[in-house]
Structure 1
Amino acid sequence: MTMTLSGIITVLKDAGLFKELIVAGKWHDRAPEELANRTVLDLSYDSRTVKEGTLFFCKGLKFDPKYLTMAANQGASVAMAPADYSAQLKTSEHPDLPQVIVTDIQKAMATVSRAFFGYPDRNLTVIGYTGTKGKTTSVYFTRHVMAKALGKVVAQLSSIDECLDGETFIPAHLTTPESLDLFRMMKEAVDNQMKYLVMEVSSQSYKKSRVFGLPLDIGVFLNISPDHISPVEHPSFEDYLACKSEIIDNCRILVVNRECSQYDYLAEKAHDLGKQVISFGSDQSAADYQYRLGEHGYFTVTTANPALPKLDGDFRVMMPGDFNVANALAALTVAAQVAPVSEDFRAGLAETTVPGRMEFIKDKQGVVACVDYAHNYLSLTASFNFMKHEFKDGRLIVVIGAAGGKAESRRKDIGRALSQYADVAILTSEDNFFEDPHQIAADIKENIDNPDLEVIVNVDRKAAIEQAYAMAKPGDALFMAAKGRETFMHEKGKDVPYQGDYQITKQLMEK
């Protein structure tokens, strides 16, 4: 994998992203003859990983030019930046380091990365999921069903983990990776003979151009509700919806929840762009594929649109909660468009488990604990409702917090959900970032209006889980929200090691 300076400039010009090339203080519209064939051997946006022949991207809202100097000292052969850093770079020390100046560094990084790694998306059927909730679960459902039907040729990118060879999973760090990492991983998947990629596509990935230029064969829009509204994420619901709906611009087929609150807008936009629209939903909707709920995870699917592959029959998900049935039907709908419908669909769905998603543990005394990543009103109320239905005879004890520095409106929603369903709420740390966890807990508590709800504040998350288990009696149900199996906590700019909700709970209950 190599590119020349001249080739990089051509790719950027074709995308309308090139401004000028600066070499030793002089501006150029093309690479000078002596630099045109300068070869780039690697790409990086982290100065610590730069080596000889690397193209270094100067990205970030508050990019510090000292990192460019570090990259130059370590052998960077080309720099790409949104502005001229000649003065800070000390061109006398690096006179022949060309700076490619671009209109948008994030889009430029995506464009060049895609080209550098050989347009790997062209060798994959790419399926992208967006939605306020359910992305991860739906990705797991889809990968399991498709892998059962098609074999070990399905790669996965999710907020929990990544699979690039059809069978090995490694932990993930972002819902959607940075574009450079994304295209690098896609190239690895292609090299591993993968034929399909199922991935989460967050609103931030469009807002920050992490998936800029990436075409999707199928884009799936699960749902949307007011969330991620904050100064550092989306300033308004309109901005949130606009970013999420970019999936329509970039997909060939749109699979959409017929009962999504913005269905009419999404379908209208897709039709106006000439995209095929396939809908899924309950039997109370006018969806192309409809589900009818049974009990204990069973549901029946009916194909209402005869022009589509027939997907009729009885299915089951092993993760409890009615909300998972809609996610499962989204996965079945996608799979039916790329693989022949068979018994493998049913088996693949029933075998699906998601680490940290509605995982149950029961001790010898009859106390039940559930660990889940639920963190907003929709997912919490759906989970709490299921827990109250399944475990009627005891109390629902919830261990929960909220992320610091973002989506502050979520704290009100958490308080509201707790007021409706919980018997005991232990307010603790989630990912505090730079906020005081006591203040986050106070914000949640301020929005709890159920006088019968017992509220406890314990910002040490492990101690909070231990406290919840210590107070539980036979018949009670514990619910640990938001962290699942994550083994880190975001604290003051660092990832602090954390044992994990599931791991702590399992250890307590198996003593």
Structure 2
Amino acid sequence: MKALKELLSELTFTCERGNLEKEITAVVYDSRKIVEGCLFVCIKGANFDGHQAAAEAAEKKAAAIIVSQEVELPKQSETTLIRVEDTRYALAFVSAAWFDHPAKKLTTIGITGTKGKTTTTYLVKSILENAGRKVGLVGTIEIIIGDTHIHAVNTTPESYLLQEYFAKMVESGCDTVVMEVSSQALMLHRTQGFVFDFGIFTNLEPDHIGPNEHGSFEEYAHCKSLLFQQCRVGIANCDDVHWQLITKEHTCSLETYGMSKKADLRAQNLQFTNRQGHLGIAFDVTGLMNFHAEIAMPGRFSVYNALTAIAICRHFKVSEADICKALLAAKVKGRIEMVKVSNAFTLMIDYAHNAMALKSLLTTLKEYEHGRLVCVFGCGGNRSRERRFEMGEVSGNLADFTIITSDNPRFEEPEAIIEDIITGMKKTDGVYISIPDRKEAIAYAIDHGQPGDIIVLAGKGHEDYQEIKGVKYPMDERDLIADILKERGISF
């Protein structure tokens, strides 16, 4: 238990009813979890406003309730009523206090940007652990605490969960945490209640703009920029055209990285590598550090991801040898993840699930010497049909051969989704075939692979399920590939 006034100590508030001399048994923001003696924080969500449950919380003898608008409580209730300007902001500070401010016991690294967050967090974890630190991770794919891996629901969890994860990291012996910080998280104050030691900006492109996300690109950019008012050291990719907009109101010290001469830390002399079907890229690091590095992931964007990680880890006094070793060893599930199926051609799995990401990936791979560029993908059901047209057009323009298949059809018929993709494909001269069953589509790609081919399985990435009619069925592309190879008597 903790004293109410202790939990509120870093907040500006008005006590509209009751007193602060109470012991709190739990902090709750889900009305279904209200218990006697708890502090209930009324959060307004997309589908339900917690303020509607204020009276219920009082009836269940919650010790206190935090609100940001007028509510009516039973007259006989002894529940304390606290009024704040923003309950999400309040929840972040209350949660930090509830878990004894665990972020103060960790070195905290927050990475924001449209692309590159996930890969970079894993690169940073790999480099720092290679140098002897114990690193927790919070991101799109999972939360990693020691040997425990927890499936992620959001890129950045709600503030209470985030503080709980931090506390568990401290308990497990972690000294550092690296995490993805989404624009939604910054907008909804999920990362308030502490100050990041390092805040990083990777890049900015129009994305996450629409219902229940951001109303405009300007709002999206503004939310990203908030990280540079919540960190001590800011690190920005100065090759991105928006970097000065993002850092304009920064309150931290600031340094830059990129491939341009103006960057404090630079990558130069890029060389594409292909070692028995494993694509990568080598480059020289200059400026704040000087050494030669190589990453076992293809493309210029992989250099940016690696350079981001180097810019961060430089502050931890990691040796150049440790950085180089970790970059070569690092792998990220579902992010340009290469899977060995042949000595003659390359196969990789990637999460590219919209036109922008697919275009970036295919454009990158075309820079390598290759036979055909083969793209296997589908689109999710109950999502924008425009995405299907666009992805079909992108693959038709950039891939030498496209295999259109099923992704997560949800409540739509896979064939209907495929027809929409074909509509986009027909705007191009691209050659394609449609095979609705994803395993059969992958098998076709492998069976017809030619020397020098690069085969991309796009869209699913790290996902290990296929969602059909409201049910998530187990389906991991790595397992499908393993089954296909086993059926053909192939092993590596």
The amino acid that maps onto 2:27 is L
Q: 1:263 aligns to what?
A: 243
SS at match of 2:284: strand
Deviation at 1:342, TM superposition (A): 3.8
Q: 1:307 aligns to what?
A: none
Change (3 A) 1:130 1:433: farther
1:217-240 CA distances to partner (integer Å, 9 max, x unpaired)?
Answer: 111111111112222212221111
1:86-142 CA distances to partner (integer Å, 9 max, x unpaired)?
Answer: 47xxx48x8344444443221121121111111222122111111111101011111
Structure 2 counterpart of 1:80, from 58, 66, 71: 66
Confirm whether residue 62 of structure 1 aligns to residue 47 of structure 2: yes
Confirm whether residue 15 of structure 1 aligns to residue 11 of structure 2: yes
Determine the C-alpha separation between the residues in 1 that align with 2:358 and 2:123.
Answer: 20
Confirm whether residue 203 of structure 1 aligns to residue 183 of structure 2: yes
Structure 2 counterpart of 1:119, from 101, 113, 138: 101
Confirm whether residue 217 of structure 1 aligns to residue 197 of structure 2: yes
Query: Is residue 400–residue 425 contact of structure 1 (8 Å, CA) maintained in 2?
Result: no
Q: 2:266 aligns to what?
A: 290
Q: 2:115 aligns to what?
A: 133
Normalising by structure 1, what TM-score?
0.82
Confirm whether residue 332 of structure 1 aligns to residue 304 of structure 2: no
Determine the C-alpha separation between the residues in 2 that align with 1:329 and 1:446.
Answer: 39
Deviation at 1:73, TM superposition (A): 7.8
Confirm whether residue 301 of structure 1 aligns to residue 284 of structure 2: yes
Q: 2:136 aligns to what?
A: 155
Q: 2:2 aligns to what?
A: 3
SS at match of 1:189: helix
Query: Is residue 159–residue 190 contact of structure 2 (8 Å, CA) maintained in 1?
Result: yes
Aligned pairs (5 A) from 1:454-465: 454-455=431-432, 461-462=438-439, 464-465=441-442
Confirm whether residue 194 of structure 1 aligns to residue 169 of structure 2: no
Q: 2:277 aligns to what?
A: none
SS at match of 1:183: helix
Change (3 A) 1:98 1:328: same
Determine the C-alpha separation between the residues in 2 that align with 1:110 and 1:445.
Answer: 46
Query: Is residue 130–residue 203 contact of structure 1 (8 Å, CA) maintained in 2?
Result: yes
Q: 1:506 aligns to what?
A: 482
Query: Is residue 373–residue 400 contact of structure 2 (8 Å, CA) maintained in 1?
Result: yes
Q: 1:497 aligns to what?
A: 473
SS at match of 2:348: strand
The amino acid that maps onto 2:197 is D
1:155-201 CA distances to partner (integer Å, 9 max, x unpaired)?
Answer: 21121122223x44333221111100001111111222322111100
Query: Is residue 289–residue 301 contact of structure 1 (8 Å, CA) maintained in 2?
Result: no
Query: Is residue 300–residue 314 contact of structure 1 (8 Å, CA) maintained in 2?
Result: yes
Determine the C-alpha separation between the residues in 1 that align with 2:340 and 2:448.
Answer: 15
Confirm whether residue 351 of structure 1 aligns to residue 329 of structure 2: yes
Q: 2:85 aligns to what?
A: 103
Give the count of matched residue pairs.
478
Confirm whether residue 487 of structure 1 aligns to residue 464 of structure 2: yes
Determine the C-alpha separation between the residues in 1 that align with 2:90 and 2:412.
Answer: 34
Query: Is residue 419–residue 448 contact of structure 1 (8 Å, CA) maintained in 2?
Result: yes
SS at match of 1:226: coil
Determine the C-alpha separation between the residues in 2 that align with 1:143 and 1:381.
Answer: 28
Query: Is residue 111–residue 201 contact of structure 2 (8 Å, CA) maintained in 1?
Result: yes
Query: Is residue 259–residue 285 contact of structure 1 (8 Å, CA) maintained in 2?
Result: no
Deviation at 1:277, TM superposition (A): 1.8
SS at match of 2:372: coil
Aligned pairs (5 A) from 1:364-375: 366=344, 368-375=346-353
1:46-91 CA distances to partner (integer Å, 9 max, x unpaired)?
Answer: 345555543333322432668668767877544434445547xxx4
Of 477-486 and 412-421, deviating more is 412-421
Determine the C-alpha separation between the residues in 1 that align with 2:6 and 2:410.
Answer: 41
Query: Is residue 377–residue 410 contact of structure 1 (8 Å, CA) maintained in 2?
Result: yes
Query: Is residue 374–residue 403 contact of structure 2 (8 Å, CA) maintained in 1?
Result: no
Normalising by structure 2, what TM-score?
0.85
SS at match of 1:143: helix
Query: Is residue 381–residue 411 contact of structure 2 (8 Å, CA) maintained in 1?
Result: no
Change (3 A) 1:395 1:121: closer
Query: Is residue 48–residue 71 contact of structure 1 (8 Å, CA) maintained in 2?
Result: no
Structure 1 stretches lacking a partner, 5+ long: 22-27, 305-309
Query: Is residue 280–residue 288 contact of structure 1 (8 Å, CA) maintained in 2?
Result: yes
Q: 2:296 aligns to what?
A: 318
Aligned pairs (5 A) from 1:406-445: 410-411=387-388, 413-431=390-408, 444-445=421-422
Q: 1:24 aligns to what?
A: none
Structure 2 counterpart of 1:40, from 3, 21, 24: 24
Of 152-161 and 236-245, deviating more is 152-161
SS at match of 1:245: helix
Deviation at 1:144, TM superposition (A): 0.9
The amino acid that maps onto 1:288 is D
Of 106-115 and 37-46, deviating more is 37-46
Change (3 A) 1:409 1:186: farther
Query: Is residue 423–residue 452 contact of structure 1 (8 Å, CA) maintained in 2?
Result: no
1:324-372 CA distances to partner (integer Å, 9 max, x unpaired)?
Answer: 1111011011100122434211112221111122222343595643111
Determine the C-alpha separation between the residues in 2 that align with 1:57 and 1:405.
Answer: 33
Of 201-210 and 361-370, deviating more is 361-370
The amino acid that maps onto 1:186 is F
Determine the C-alpha separation between the residues in 2 that align with 1:361 and 1:374.
Answer: 16
Query: Is residue 113–residue 224 contact of structure 2 (8 Å, CA) maintained in 1?
Result: yes
When the two chains are superposed, the root-mean-square deviation of aligned CA atoms in Å is 3.3
The amino acid that maps onto 1:174 is N
Determine the C-alpha separation between the residues in 1 that align with 2:407 and 2:78.
Answer: 48
Structure 2 stretches lacking a partner, 5+ long: 274-279, 488-492
Q: 2:258 aligns to what?
A: 281
The amino acid that maps onto 2:206 is P
Of 240-249 and 479-488, deviating more is 479-488
